[in-house]
Structures are given as C-alpha cells and as structure tokens.
Amino acid sequence: MKINLLKLLPLFAALLLAIPSCEDDDNENQIMVVYSVTLDKSVVEITVGETVTVKATISPENATYKNVVWTSSDETIAEVDSKGVVTALKEGTVTITATSEKYYTKSATCTITVKAATTTNLTEDPEQEPKQESEPTAILVTSIALNKPQPKSQSTAMKP
C-alpha cells in the first residue's frame, strides 16, 4: 500500500495548528532579572534613639524577585529591619545596604551618621539671656522722718 504523502500534508498542517502554542506560556513564565537596586536616600543624619525609613526600589518594575535583604555595617551603632527602618543606637557612622535577595551583585547603600542626643535644661528659656549670679541688694527702712515746714507767724500791728 502506497500512501501519498502529499495527500497527508493538509492533515499534518491541521494537527500543527490544533496544538496550542507554547510561546505565550514562555513569556508569562519568563524570569525577569533585577537590573538595579536604588535607595531613596544616600546620606542621612539622625540622633541616638531616632529612626528613619530607607526605601529600596528594584528595577525593572516587573522583575521576578523584588525582595531585598537589609544589612548594617555596624549593628552596635544602627540596626535595620526587614522593611528598611533604621534605628540609631549610639554615636557613629554606618553603611546601610539593600541587596537583591536573588541577585547578590545588585545592591545600593546609604550612609547614616548618628549624633549624640542633646540634653536641654527645661527650667530655663534658651531665648533669654543668662542670669548673672550676684548678691541681692536689700534696703531696710525702719522709720521715716518728715520735716514739715512751720508756718511763719505773721504779726499784724494795729495802729490807733
């Protein structure tokens, strides 16, 4: 039995068209790599006890892995949590780094300088001039003498 392959060609073509395309699925499942990590701040100065939030942005916007890992170069000076909130612990300077969780070569840094907390004397107004320390002067008055002028006596002489 001889089969004419040319007669079967339309059948093969129909079968090929009936099979769903995998190309669209590949685009949906395609991994988008991280090109860069940027931060909204590059240099920050805060005081011991204060916090500041540093925001990381992954590029491109449709990257598959968008999470970052936060680290501090010295956690005794400032700590950073998983959301980028930096807490100042003591005086000094640290580098806060946000690194792509999947692409370790993609990262960005922010320099945080922590200043010592200042104390304020709440009993004095800083706007006023400083008071001078001196002994108070007091005058004690025990009596007051008033010298009233006496009326001059007028004598009138009558002449007869």
Residue 23 located in a structural domain = no
> 96 in a domain, yes or no?
yes
Structural domain contains residue 47: yes
Q: Is residue 104 domain-resident?
A: yes
The per-residue pLDDT for range 2-57, each reduced to its tens digit, is 666 666 666 666 665 555 554 444 456 788 999 999 999 999 999 999 999 999 99
CB atoms within 10 A of CB 33: 13
Question: For residue 53, is it within any domain?
Answer: yes
- pLDDT at residue 151 is higher than 50: yes
Mean pLDDT of the chain: 79
The region of weakest confidence among 34-38, 101-105, 145-149, 156-160 is: 156-160
Average pLDDT of the segment spanning 131-157: 60
Domain count for the chain = 1
CATH code of the domain containing 46: 2.60.40.1080
Residue 137 lies in a domain: no
Within-domain flag for 160: no
- Residue 99, token pair as written in the block: 């690194």
Burial state string for 94-104 with b = 16 or more CB within 10 A and e = fewer than 16? bebbbbbebbe
Q: What is the pTM of this model?
A: 0.58
Print the domain residue range for 60: 31-115
3-state secondary structure of 127: coil
What Cα–Cα distance (Å) separates residue 64 from each residue in 13, 24, 83, 103? 37, 17, 19, 11
Question: Is 15 inside any structural domain?
Answer: no
pLDDT by residue (tens digit) across 54-109?
999 999 999 999 999 999 999 999 999 999 999 999 999 999 999 999 999 999 99
